[in-house]
Amino acid sequence: MDIILRALKNEISAILALAPTDNLHWCGSHTDLFEAAALVCTSFPLYTSAGQLYRVGPLIHELCLRLHLDEPHNPRAYLYKAKHRKYVRQVPFQQRYAQCLRQMPRPLFAMIRVGEGKEPPFSSSSPQPAAGMHVADAPDALDATHCEG
């Protein structure tokens, strides 16, 4: 699981390196994105550009800013929802992320769309590698975000 969390940290760090003016939009579940942020914050030290340690709230704020999401008034409510949905309707985010990671290098980037609107970056005929995590082909998503490696 450590490899999975490191991959998740690398993706979150790459998203934080993007500018809000890049016109990127998150097309996945808000709860999944916020759960990913909380996993990274509780598993690894992640620092702001000023050298301060990120906490969950400020990290969610920064992600919302870069991915043009309306920031929730209470992000912990999303984390509470994530905690209580596990094993009820779908497997936990970390397991779904691990399944996607086996098939593509950067699953979170596959849920980011460039341009206006929040339409999903995939069609109904696109491959969906893991149940509950709808993603597009990773190379297309990476090319569209101008983020290599």
How many domains, in total, are found in the chain? 1
Domain range spanning residue 29?
2-145
Q: What is the mean pLDDT of residues 121-138?
A: 40
The answer to whether residues 118 and 25 touch, using CB atoms and an 8 Å cutoff, is yes
**pLDDT, greater one: 146 or 60:** 60
- pLDDT exceeds 80 at position 86: no
Name the nearest CA neighbour of 112 among 100, 120, 104.
Answer: 120
- The mean pLDDT value of the chain amounts to 79
